[in-house]
Structure 1
């Protein structure tokens, strides 16, 4: 068997992750497995195991890719020439988060299980990219608002845990809405952008 080069491996991993992401738009995490993913790719089920050992590793790769995309958005915010006030920075960060629906969904619904069932080296790779996100977020605050290290840490420890609740509030299921209506629990239609923006304007 010929040895694949890194470019070929990366391309095939991307195809598998694309298929997983497409399925995740309409299926729950539990219903997705490597056999189902293979039907959306040009690979057989056994072939996928050459690139990922578990479906959780595919999701972890997808999550890593999502954070890498967000990091590019954060770098663009940092790179803006003029300083931004609190409102414009909140708008920019909320806009960047609006594009990361898959990141928010995985983080809210399945992160613990994904991390637990992935190889350590892949988890370390993901944590490195996540660390970059944390540092870039801090840099956004320091550059545009001039906040101190202590204040930046406080904001970060408020915002990153909050991120895990954005998706469920923005995309409640019909069953959840029906149950809330039955017990007369107030709820409102909201979006990822609105939830992110409103929270950031409170804490910045």
Structure 2
């Protein structure tokens, strides 16, 4: 661990994570290297190794940050509202994930690689954040829909998130291939998919 104040360490970690996030908007997971990340930070590339040993650890930290922010938002939803209809709940959950496209992309594309190539302590930190999002969602369902089987909701909803991004976002190459294959398909937005899933899990139509 580098020498310096906890604030400096946290600030530099955040800078590295944010640099990775920006690159991931235009580059693929395979294209991004620690050298590429270092080129857009304010300190040397070799300094990154004081904070992360692999690029997978940086990506895992990015996904950890996404889960932490989502868990905070879910907790705020539970705190702000006494009751919610299924439609309103589905709407706020869909909107909360619509702006977390990065999280859904990471889940769909590179989750296994990130976990496999990260140190155990970094993986544990990530699992704490993931667990917080599970707990926050569980608390929402228990509070607003006491008649719904909460564990069944969690068991279906969280694995469902792994498949949202590929069905909601396609490259022009993928769209062309589907048209040439004469597939009968319609792209749906992240919001539409999440909303529909939540409504169905809550017993709606």
Question: TM-score, normalized by length of structure 2?
Answer: 0.95
CA RMSD of the aligned region, Å? 1.1
Shift of 1:189: 3.0
Aligned to 2:146: 146
Q: C-alpha distance in 2, partners of 1:138/1:17?
A: 28
Structure 2: gaps of 5 or more residues: none
Secondary structure at the residue paired with 2:80? Answer: coil
Shift of 1:203: 1.2
1:20-169 equivalence runs, <5 A: 20-147=20-147, 151-169=149-167
**Residues 14-72 of structure 1: CA distance to partner in whole angstroms, max 9, x if unpaired?**
00111000000000000000000111111211111111100000001100000011011
Shift of 1:145: 1.1
Structure 1: gaps of 5 or more residues: none
Q: C-alpha distance in 1, partners of 2:3/2:180?
A: 59
Q: C-alpha distance in 2, partners of 1:156/1:196?
A: 13
Residue 141 of structure 1 contacts residue 147 of structure 1 at CA under 8 Å; is this kept in 2? no
Residue 16 of structure 1 contacts residue 58 of structure 1 at CA under 8 Å; is this kept in 2? yes
Q: C-alpha distance in 1, partners of 2:108/2:187?
A: 18
Shift of 1:192: 1.2
Q: C-alpha distance in 2, partners of 1:142/1:27?
A: 40
Residue 34 of structure 1 contacts residue 45 of structure 1 at CA under 8 Å; is this kept in 2? yes
**Is 1:12 the counterpart of 2:12 in the alignment?**
yes
Q: C-alpha distance in 2, partners of 1:99/1:147?
A: 29
Q: C-alpha distance in 2, partners of 1:6/1:12?
A: 10
Question: TM-score, normalized by length of structure 1?
Answer: 0.95
Q: C-alpha distance in 1, partners of 2:95/2:201?
A: 17
Q: C-alpha distance in 1, partners of 2:14/2:184?
A: 41
Shift of 1:147: 3.2
**Residues 133-189 of structure 1: CA distance to partner in whole angstroms, max 9, x if unpaired?**
1111111111011135xx111111111011011111111111211111111112223
Q: C-alpha distance in 1, partners of 2:142/2:182?
A: 43
Secondary structure at the residue paired with 1:29? Answer: coil
Residue 29 of structure 1 contacts residue 110 of structure 1 at CA under 8 Å; is this kept in 2? yes
Q: What is the number of equivalent residue pairs in this alignment?
A: 201
